[in-house]
Amino acid sequence: MSVTPASAESTPFEIAQAETPADTHAAQPAGEVHTETGVAHGEEHASGVFPPFDQTTFASQVLWLAITFGLFYLLMSKLVIPRIGGILETRHDRIAQDLDEASRLKAEADAAIASYEQELASARAKGNAIASTARDEAKAKADAERAKIEASLQDKIAGAEARIAEIKAKALADVGTIAEDTTGALVEQLIGAKATKAEVASAVKTAAGE
């Protein structure tokens, strides 16, 4: 048998149909169910409708959809949702614990800061008191030293004044003696006669009184 280009382009399915004996379909009784597809022979390609859109199978499709949805719902309600809820609850509890811990740490930090500020204020007050006490003590000591020095100076001044008065009195006494001697010498030179000490002293006292 020769193969033409037109016959070469035929599909394998058409070639199989051409090579199948004509009495093969006639040998099977009408209405016999094909064992592989479960559909009556001769009805396999009769409708040509996509199976999900076949109205004759809607009931079975709805049944299997309900069964599948029920199983999915049971799976979600018994396993997935409780597990997710447990995870969310655990996370919520952990977040709440973290917030409580953060609040506690913040309260402790605030208390520590307040205590530090109080201790700092107390230390400053103590430092100011110590500085004031030291300043007062230094001032009192300086006043005492000054009073002591002033007293010593007064004593020295008094002693110096006493010595000056003594020296002055002695000097004045020596001046009187010197004046009497000088007066006696002058009288002797002037009148050529020597005056007595009593007369010279009387004359000097009279001149000093004037």
- Phi, psi of 33, rounded to the nearest 5 degrees: -85, 130
Structure tokens at 209: 């009184």
- Summarised one tens digit per residue, pLDDT across range 88-143 is 999 999 999 999 999 999 999 999 999 999 999 999 999 999 999 999 999 999 99
How confident is residue 162, by pLDDT bands cut at 50, 70 and 90?
confident
Cα gap 7→63, rounded to integer Å: 48
pTM here is 0.35
- Summarised one tens digit per residue, pLDDT across range 169-179 is 777 666 667 67
Residue labelled with tokens 């009184």: 209
- Summarised one tens digit per residue, pLDDT across range 23-42 is 444 444 444 444 444 444 44
Query: Shortest CA distance to 41 belongs to which of 59, 22, 24?
Result: 24
Alpha helices in the chain (DSSP H): 5-8, 12-19, 23-27, 58-75, 81-191, 197-209
